[in-house]
């Protein structure tokens, strides 16, 4: 079961993500600030029924994770928060999404599976879909030399050198994609 796989990585008993703490209790992880009255829900509908938060819905979560799959991005919790905010920008700001509550929503969904990577970062998988994520830490360069030459030409141009990028890989990638640069198409 996925919960048993997560427990050993949190041997200290707690990990901190933003202002929320996730605590280990036996072999189960639960969010200490994520639900009303400290109740640890057993399934997705319990979380929504408690009124702790109605957005994102399970469908929102699955759609966001599926979109990250389509982009070949490993759906880490922080990346999922960004994608949820992009998919429904008027719902609530990314910083208002409680990481521990989001963790619990993912954990309680029968469609999603929580995993840990080699750095003990939490990411979310779809139970019914194979993954093919780009390994951002891989030393292998799978892109053609022409892409790098075209990118260098752009960034050395007056337009490219004047660019200001947001912090973080995901936000920078989104900003670059919004420019619709020819060398990044396809």
Instruction: Return the C-alpha torsion angle 75, 81, 87, 93, nearest 10.
Output: -170
DSSP string, 117-182: -TT--EEEEETTS------TT-S---S-HHHHHHHHHHHHSHHHHT----SSHHHHHHHHHHTT-G
Angle at 133 between CA 129 and CA 137, to 5 degrees: 155
Closest CA to 55 of 26, 17, 90: 90
pLDDT of residue 101: 84
**CA–CA distance, 29 with 27 (Å, rounded to integer):** 7
- Per-residue confidence (pLDDT) for residue 137, from 0 to 100: 80
Give the pLDDT score at 39. Answer: 40
Give the span between the Cα atoms of 38 and 115, in whole angstroms: 24
Res 61: pLDDT: 93
What pLDDT, on a 0 to 100 scale, did the predictor assign at position 127? 96
The answer to whether the beta carbons of residues 46 and 29 sit under 8 Å apart is no
Question: Is 31 within 8 Å of 101 (Cβ atoms)?
Answer: yes
pLDDT at 87: 84
Q: How far apart are CA 15 and CA 6, in angstroms?
A: 12
23: which 2 tokens?
A: 């605590």
Distance between CA atoms of residues 172 and 73, nearest Å: 14
Please name every residue paired with 7 in a beta bridge, in sequence order, or none if there are none.
none
Q: What's the pLDDT at 134?
A: 87
Can you give the pLDDT of all 186 residues of the chain as single tens digits? 333 333 333 333 333 333 333 433 332 333 333 333 334 444 544 444 444 456 788 999 999 999 999 999 999 988 898 889 888 766 555 556 778 888 899 999 999 999 988 777 889 999 999 999 988 888 999 889 999 999 999 999 999 999 888 888 888 888 998 999 999 987
Q: In what order do the strands lie in the sheet with 20-25?
A: 14-17, 20-25, 28-31
Whether the Cβ atoms of residue 61 and residue 85 lie closer than 8 Å to each other: no
Confidence (pLDDT) at 139: 92
Q: What is the pLDDT of residue 153?
A: 95
Tokens of 14: 């707690």
| C-alpha to C-alpha distance for 90 and 40, rounded to whole angstroms | 29
């Amino acid at each position: 079961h996925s919960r048993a796989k997560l427990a050993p990585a949190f041997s200290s008993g707690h990990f901190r993500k933003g202002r929320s703490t996730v605590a280990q209790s036996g072999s189960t992880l639960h969010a200490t600030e994520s639900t009303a009255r400290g109740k640890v829900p057993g399934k997705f509908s319990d979380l929504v029924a408690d009124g702790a938060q109605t957005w994102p819905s399970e469908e929102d979560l699955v759609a966001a994770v599926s979109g990250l799959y389509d982009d070949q991005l490993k759906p880490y919790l922080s990346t999922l928060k960004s994608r949820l905010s992009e998919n429904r920008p008027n719902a609530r700001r990314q910083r208002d999404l409680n990481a521990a509550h989001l963790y619990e929503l993912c954990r309680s969904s029968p469609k999603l599976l929580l995993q840990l990577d080699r750095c003990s970062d939490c990411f979310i998988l779809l139970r019914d879909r194979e993954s093919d994520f780009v390994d951002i830490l891989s030393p292998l360069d799978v892109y053609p030399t022409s892409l790098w030459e075209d990118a260098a030409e752009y960034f050395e141009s007056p337009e490219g050198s004047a660019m200001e990028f947001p912090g973080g890989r995901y936000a920078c990638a989104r900003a670059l994609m919004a420019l619709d640069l020819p060398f990044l198409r396809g």
